[in-house]
A and B are shown apart, each in its own frame.
Chain A
Amino acid sequence: MCGIVGLFLKDPTLEPQLGTLLADMLVTMTDRGPDSAGLAIYGPPTPGLSKITVQSAQALVDFPTLEQRLAEVSGGSARVAVKSSHAVITVASDRLEATRAALKGLSSDLRVMGAGESVEIYKEVGLPKDVVERFGIAGMSGTHGIGHTRMATESAVTTMGAHPFSTGADQCLVHNGSLSNHNNLRRSLARDGMAFETQNDSEVAAAYLTTAMARGRDLGAALAGALEDLDGFFTFVVGTKSGFGVLRDPIACKPAIMAETDRYVAFGSEYRALVGLPGIETARVWEPEPATVYFWDQRQAA
């Protein structure tokens, strides 16, 4: 139960403003969810390098020595940029999995928020305004991003329970609604090898899409499969390295509104989230249809 936002830029000159625009959109949705907030920001990838966003409840203990402790496993490539309770570790892409595996042994307080070539994920308990400030989101540039503010329904209010959920490289998902078959689906995906961090229904949706894409489907096809396999009420906004997708369940009572101009595609739970966007007055504004996959790709848009 929540407020969700998404912004996908077509015009590269807007990229320096991505963080500012997305942060403002999310803060506007505060009333829809007071428990926790989070954002995923996709930046242009640097060839040969990957990023891991980690969070620690003991940031002052864990982060100062992190670069040094990862030196060996990363072949000396690890660089750590600390932002409050989060840190972004940049490593050579061929050392990504090894580094990620090594993190598990370093500290019981360290949690991986997400990883990939372009995504950085920031999420914490608290209001959007505080989360956005804490991580300096307004200063971030990027190509696309999604955000979420949460009113927790059945699972715990924790950092890991905050959205976006990332269950695959450069993939993440935010959700407004309430699923009703996620427990069975979680068990089934876990048997197939997915690891889960929470009891949250939305994490199951993210993992479902990751599994589908790992089997070779593109995001559009994975979302289409979700209509068949997920029960309950949902509006999803999903990010991949180069793409951005939106899906509503067939009943479609959770709100969703989209706007498109030559410069961007934007998503909000409510129109309020979109009013600060440049040129919104003349944008094409519409509500996504139920059970219809919407999907944009940076490579196709460019």
Chain B
Amino acid sequence: MPVFDLAATPLRALNQALHGVAPGANDTAFEVLNPRGQHAVAVGIDGPVTVTVRGSVGYYCAGMNDGGTVTVQGSAGPGVAENMMSGTVVIEGDASQYAGATGRGGLLVIKGNAASRCGISMKGIDIVVHGSIGHMSAFMGQTGSLVVLGDAGEALGDSLYEAKLFVRGSVKSLGADCIEKPMRAEHREHLAVLLDRAGVTDVRPEEFRRYGSARTLYSFNIDNADAY
């Protein structure tokens, strides 16, 4: 198993090695030591590699991940798994703002809390947060699902498009054009699959409420101008 100690090895070497893994290679499990809050750890992964990061990371960890499995045994800075295409990213601690921003696929699991703007402009990614999320989460969310086992901060789902939001705890406030919607069987099934994929076993889909777009901002109307 390749081990990169970032206290001794430059970040460049790690990312270059991750990009250099040939299709079908056997040695695809990487370990990263001493990240100490460094930025851009394990970014641009383009194949089925596994990366275990022992410690906390800075901005944009696992950015644009396409097919890799990245586990951070610590907390993540802003923009973790931003624009993820596919694969899985697990943060065992907390995540800073912009977690999963603009993600287009894959699964992001945050075992602690996520700060503000979790899932901002999400485009297909699924995000499961075991704890709570901060303000302006899922702002302009387009598609994909955001699942929150704890509480949501202010202005959840502001200017939302078609992303699906599920919150188990309280929602401090809903953003413009975001409304609560009924949980039907299909939503419970969808949620059960997501919870299972995220390794959540002690929580039932029935405990969540669903939020989505009221779609009043989809075509400009002067009577909605206050919301713009």
Q: Do chains A and B touch in the complex (CB under 8 A)?
A: yes
Interface residues of A in 252-288 (CB under 8 A from B): 252-253, 255, 257, 270-275, 285-287
Q: Whole-angstrom distance between the alpha carbons of A281 and B50 in the complex?
A: 25
- B interface size (C-beta, 8 A): 19
Residues of B within 8 A of A274 (CB): 37
Tell whether, in the assembled complex, residue A272 and residue B37 are in contact, meaning their CB atoms are under 8 Å apart.
Answer: yes
Interface string of B13-42 (1 = CB under 8 A from A): 000000000000000000000001110000
Interface residues of B in 101-156 (CB under 8 A from A): 113, 115-117, 134-135, 153
Q: Whole-angstrom distance between the alpha carbons of A253 and B94 in the complex?
A: 17
Q: Whole-angstrom distance between the alpha carbons of A273 and B94 in the complex?
A: 17
Tell whether, in the assembled complex, residue B135 and residue A270 are in contact, meaning their CB atoms are under 8 Å apart.
Answer: no
Residues of A within 8 A of B135 (CB): 252, 289-290
Count contacts between A and B, CB distance < 8 Å.
44
Q: Which residues of B contact A (CB under 8 A)?
A: 36-38, 56, 58-59, 75, 77-78, 94, 96-97, 113, 115-117, 134-135, 153
Tell whether, in the assembled complex, residue B56 and residue A271 are in contact, meaning their CB atoms are under 8 Å apart.
Answer: yes
Q: Whole-angstrom distance between the alpha carbons of A286 and B135 in the complex?
A: 14
Tell whether, in the assembled complex, residue A252 and residue B116 are in contact, meaning their CB atoms are under 8 Å apart.
Answer: yes
Complex A-B, nearest 3 residue pairs according to Cβ-Cβ distance, in ascending order? A272-B37, A271-B37, A287-B115
Q: Whole-angstrom distance between the alpha carbons of A81 and B36 in the complex?
A: 37
Given contacts A271-B75, A272-B58, contact A285 B97 (CB under 8 A): no
Which chain B residue has the least Cβ–Cβ distance from A255?
A: B78
Residues of B within 8 A of A275 (CB): 36-37, 56
Tell whether, in the assembled complex, residue B97 and residue A253 are in contact, meaning their CB atoms are under 8 Å apart.
Answer: yes
Residues of A within 8 A of B56 (CB): 271, 275
Residues of A within 8 A of B96 (CB): 255, 257, 271, 287
Q: Whole-angstrom distance between the alpha carbons of A286 and B78 in the complex?
A: 13
Q: Whole-angstrom distance between the alpha carbons of A286 and B58 in the complex?
A: 14
Tell whether, in the assembled complex, residue B75 and residue A270 are in contact, meaning their CB atoms are under 8 Å apart.
Answer: no
* Minimum distance in angstroms from A257 CB to a CB of chain B: 7
Q: Whole-angstrom distance between the alpha carbons of A286 and B97 in the complex?
A: 11
Q: Whole-angstrom distance between the alpha carbons of A262 and B36 in the complex?
A: 22
* Minimum distance in angstroms from B150 CB to a CB of chain A: 14
Residues of A within 8 A of B117 (CB): 253
* Minimum distance in angstroms from A284 CB to a CB of chain B: 11
Given contacts A252-B116, A287-B115, A287-B134, contact A271 B97 (CB under 8 A): no
